[in-house]
Structure 1
Amino acid sequence: MPSLTPAPLAVALFLPDLEERPDRRSAVDLAHRLLRADVAVDVVAPMGGGPLRAALNPAVGQIDLAKHHAATSALALARVMAERQPSLLAIPREVAWVGRLALWLGRSDGRLVVLGGDAETDFAAIRAAAPRWG
């Protein structure tokens, strides 16, 4: 018998790297804000290392695609989308094409949210795109 409790909202947050840059720091802040809002969050990166990795809350999922560049990550990201089935894929503007391709390759029903680099604005965009909130 299926559960009557809806599954929690899940977001995959793809970052081209975890280097210490203002836009990446904003994305980490966004991940923490989503976590505080009871959203399941996975941070997905081509290579999982970088200075900001240590800044991630242990409750945030960390997925290392074992790729050298964001441009070569579409197929691996598609696999993550197919396996984990998050409702949303949030991705920085400069690599939005990787997200579109990954959603297409993975035949995912997930929605794409393009991040602008401001945690407050990006949180509002995710909330607006979410199929259900709360």
Structure 2
Amino acid sequence: MTTVRMFVNGQALSGGSLNDALAGARLIGEVKTAPRYRFYTVRDEFPGLYPVASGGVSVPGEVYEVSYEVLREKLLPREPSELELTVIELDDGSGSLSMKMREESLGLPGVSDISDRGGWIAYGKAIA
């Protein structure tokens, strides 16, 4: 069975409401992105990465080893339309699949930059 690495940083994190979509995937561990991204909340419902040329931060998350079947049948169908699949750079220089904000979604109502908030879990605790 062919597998790929998938970086998650929001509801698909361990304990999150979307983590069940990763049933059958293997958690590799906690990681951070390279400092090349801004991090956004969309209506405080889910986050999104967006690559930038300067002013980026490292975003914490988890990497899973997932089959194409899990990705295609379980995870991607549950991702919000404001996000799209891409390849990102991790802090060790390696790559991983991940969801990112669609450029046209950045200006939507309810989208705010939370890059300085320490990741999705820290942000959630701060607004709770």
TM-score by structure 2 length?
A: 0.28
Indicate the structure with greater strand content: 2
User: Which one scores higher on RCO, CA 8 angstroms, separation ≥ 6?
Assistant: 2
Indicate the structure with greater helix content: 1
